[in-house]
Structure 1
Amino acid sequence: MKRLSAIGSPRSNLVVGAAVAILGLSAGTAFAQTAPAPQRPAQPAVKPKPAAPAAAAPTPATPAPATQGLASTKTAGGDDVIARVGEANISAEELRAYVGALGAREQAALAKDPALLSQAVRMLLANRLVLQEVIAKRWDQRPNVAAQLDRVRENALVEIYLQSVSTPPESFPSEDELQKVYDANRSALLVPRQFHLAQIFVAAKDGDKAAEDKARKAIESIQAKLRAPGADFGAIAQAESNSKSSGDLGWVAENQIRPEIKAQVQGLAKNAVSEPVRLDDGWHIIKLIDTKASYTRTLPEVREQLVQQMRSERAAVLRRAYLAELLKQNPPILNELALSNLLDNSRK
């Protein structure tokens, strides 16, 4: 909603598409082992609209979308072909590998917005086209390009190897280790009290007396309508509010509500309406639809994210220990004078 910022940040919607589900992505966000952030409750997914009935008479032939021809296409290995450009295919396995190589934050973003997956496929197809052009022009065989490729290959080999030697055992974390970390983070796993709110907003610019007087009259008129027997808050909000909507803000966490609004909300009974509240952008009338008490998220709720974060942190520790031991066994020798001269020359 346009004026949701008046009481806090917009509520997040969690909509996981079928394509993302097939890839096995997790929609949960990882939290720090020492100070995890509580997660806001997910909002209901939007139900898809029913498909329109088929027309009785055939319509003129139109070009088929590029994806229609891939409905039953398989690779030589029997895997589904997700997309194609020219002679290049993107298989489901390749896409799974691409997504699997992403970081936890990027995977969480894909899970929240399946449209990003389509963008990723288009990017992969564009890369395939560029690669075809590179090969056709033998561009990769140029000496300076070949040298860069060698450096990239070396870095990639080092990274892959370090990942292999720093991967925690499958048994980590144990149930006991998991429980200890969960207990240490219980206070950070507290989900604050939530309010299901609706609002009527009337804009009023600070310092503009004429606009302020007009807004006050509008607020008085709205209050009179709200006091009428059987008054419909949503209908009045849609007719009178500057947001021109039903005013439903959904569930909002207590710590995301402006102090001026929270002071009013905390004193309201269920389905009660507040007095007008003046903020820097205008006047707000709040209705409390319902309340959810605060609670601490349970271990089963956070298990997947907690395990992922603990394994990630353990991998980082193992990597540092491996590199430290490697350097201890093979002490490096630095030419400090040459290094200093190199730095001096770079500053000139």
Structure 2
Amino acid sequence: MTHLHTILAGIALAGFLGAAGPAPQPTDVVAQVGTTTLTVADVQAMLAHIDPAVRDQALHNHVALDELVRGQLIRQELLVEAEAKKWDQDADVAYRAKTAHDAAIVDSYLASLNQPDASYPSDADVQAAYEANKTRFVKPREYHLAQIVFTVPADAPKSADTEAQKKLRELKQTLSRPHADFADTAKHVSQDKATAEKGGEIGWVRDDQLIPAIKDAVAGLQDNAISDPVRAADGWHLLKLLDTKPATTATLVEVKDKLVQALRQQKESANARAYLQQMQTKQPLELNEIALSHVAAP
């Protein structure tokens, strides 16, 4: 369990997420570094050509959209810098660029030839895939946690480590008394600023997202109980279990879209393999093994 730092900056992309205000124009600049800019039209073009799942996440998550735009802007700025130094004229770079260009054409052409029928998969296909993979759709147990943290670096003197643990043990005893206020205490004494401001609240955390030491500490707690002090990389943590959600299996409705996408991708791959096999049957590939052996000769 580490401190909950959030590193975000101010690229204003609210127009993509339906924020109030005038409709953005295609030429409006949404991000800039140096002389390199990205307009609304640039970002829309980028979103139109990326993986649909990534696009959907970006359009429904401001942070994800920010990260995509930042990454694209940095690549654009690097491209300007590289071209100014004529890096694109290097023979090795030019060959790799040509290879990537050709691969994009071939891959998209092959995909266009082997798209599954629009009716695939059927409801029966989806149901069968769901039943066959049900164990993969288990949603882990979740814990609603709050914490008080005493920061102790890993390389701190042993005395500092021991003192922090002792103070948290004493604090646990105090907080176990009737009417003790964990949230108010966290606001005043916790050294993790991000959670202290919220009364120590971390929020809901999945079982598989917890480090082993904290997972073990909270697994046996009753709701509203407080753990013994737990050592993590950043220091000692005192944890309060606010609520628990048991492990459940996602319903077919919840995973249907992902299943349909996976089945269509599998079908497309199978169609592509069959197409390539048929192509090689019609037009057998010929290899000159003697000439080829000279390639690897010392």
TM-score of the two chains, using structure 1 as the length reference: 0.63
| Residue 81 to residue 311, structure 1, CA distance change in 2 (3 Å) | farther
| Residue 280 to residue 300, structure 1, CA distance change in 2 (3 Å) | closer
Aligned to 2:252: 299
- Once the two structures are aligned, what percentage of the paired residues are identical? 31
Aligned to 2:238: 285
CA distance in 2, matches of 1:145, 1:219: 58
8 Å contact kept, 2:142–2:246: yes
CA distance in 2, matches of 1:319, 1:290: 49
Aligned to 2:218: 265
Q: What's the RMSD between the two structures over aligned residues? A: 4.5
Q: Which has the larger radius of gyration?
A: 1
CA distance in 2, matches of 1:129, 1:203: 44
SS of match in other structure, 1:331: coil
CA distance in 2, matches of 1:253, 1:290: 12
Is 1:118 matched up with 2:69?
A: yes
CA distance in 2, matches of 1:125, 1:341: 42
SS of match in other structure, 1:231: coil
Aligned to 1:341: 294
Aligned to 1:183: 131
Is 1:234 matched up with 2:186?
A: no
| Matched letter for residue 287 of structure 2 | L
Q: Offset at 1:321?
A: 1.2
Bigger proportion of residues as helix: 2
Is 1:168 matched up with 2:111?
A: no
| Matched letter for residue 208 of structure 2 | N
Cα deviation per residue 1:273-317 (whole Å; 9 max; x = unaligned)? 22x234365533221101112211111211222211211121111
Aligned to 1:29: none
Aligned to 2:9: none
Is 1:218 matched up with 2:218?
A: no
CA distance in 1, matches of 2:78, 2:159: 58
Q: Offset at 1:179?
A: 0.9
| Matched letter for residue 343 of structure 1 | A
| Residue 150 to residue 251, structure 1, CA distance change in 2 (3 Å) | closer
CA distance in 2, matches of 1:90, 1:209: 52
5+ residue gaps, structure 2, are: 6-12
5+ residue gaps, structure 1, are: 5-9, 11-16, 23-47, 52-69, 74-79, 134-138
Is 1:328 matched up with 2:276?
A: no
Q: Offset at 1:171?
A: 0.9
CA distance in 1, matches of 2:191, 2:41: 50
Q: Offset at 1:120?
A: 5.9
What is the number of equivalent residue pairs in this alignment?
A: 277
